[in-house]
């Protein structure tokens, strides 16, 4: 992201040995700022920040890979050649947690699996795995101050990021604003196939 001039967190240290504490941990450099959701913004300031975030998001989506999947998995050559295969694998992993915990029933998961199975060819129209944040809401956009005015400082918390369909990003309504899309450089597609895929992503 930094190579593409996208403002993000700078990792100072990362330890996965579990020798100091019994879990992985990461330390990032402090960014003087506050989450956008906590900042009172004028309509003009909000518009400017949304345009900047749109530009950064477009730059993120231009970063591509050869396989679909979670960042860590693809880095270890465990990704998927088809977008539908990744989504089915995600659902299977989620089911192992959600059904025993009572979050969803086995029947609800059967319905979800059927939807994916029935739309495999539609999902596999997505051929290029793009970098997608997947949790890009106002709480993960940092706003700082420059010359006394609020400015876009960084996108943070990309722990759920994946290589996939950029349309997977547009599940938060604030990203549908004219200002965000002006920065992004194109409107959200209203093509029937794109609309159907976004409905599946919401599920």
In DSSP terms, 25 is beta-bridged to 15
Whole-prediction pTM value? 0.92
Per-residue pLDDT of the chain (203 residues), as tens digits, is 989 999 999 999 999 999 999 999 999 999 999 999 999 999 999 999 999 999 999 999 999 999 999 999 999 999 999 999 999 999 999 899 888 998 888 899 999 999 999 999 999 999 999 999 999 999 999 999 999 999 999 999 998 999 999 999 998 888 899 999 999 999 999 999 999 999 999 98
Determine which helix (DSSP H) or strand (DSSP E) holds 202, and give its type and residue range. Answer: helix 192-202
What is the DSSP annotation of 56-123? Answer: HHHHHHT-B-SSBEEHHHHHTT--BSSHHHHHHHHHHHHHHHHHHHTSS-HHHHHHHHHHHHHTHHHH
């Amino acid at each position: 992201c930094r190579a593409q001039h996208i403002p993000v967190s700078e990792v100072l240290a990362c330890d996965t040995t579990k020798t100091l504490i019994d879990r992985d941990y990461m330390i990032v450099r402090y960014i003087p700022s506050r989450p956008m959701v906590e900042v009172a913004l004028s309509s003009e300031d909000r518009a400017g920040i949304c345009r900047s975030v749109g530009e950064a998001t477009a730059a993120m989506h231009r970063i591509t890979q050869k396989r679909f999947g979670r960042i860590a998995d693809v880095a270890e050559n465990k990704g998927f050649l088809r977008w539908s295969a990744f989504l089915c694998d995600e659902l299977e992993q989620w089911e192992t947690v959600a059904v025993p915990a009572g979050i969803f029933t086995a029947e609800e998961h059967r319905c979800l699996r059927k939807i994916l199975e029935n739309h495999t060819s539609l999902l596999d129209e997505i051929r290029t795995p793009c970098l997608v944040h997947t949790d890009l809401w106002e709480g993960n956009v940092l706003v700082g101050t420059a010359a006394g005015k609020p400015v876009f400082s960084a996108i943070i918390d990309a722990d759920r990021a994946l290589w996939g369909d950029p349309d997977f990003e547009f599940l938060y309504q604030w990203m549908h604003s004219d200002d965000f899309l002006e920065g992004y450089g194109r409107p959200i597609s209203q093509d029937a196939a794109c609309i159907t895929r976004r409905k599946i992503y919401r599920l």
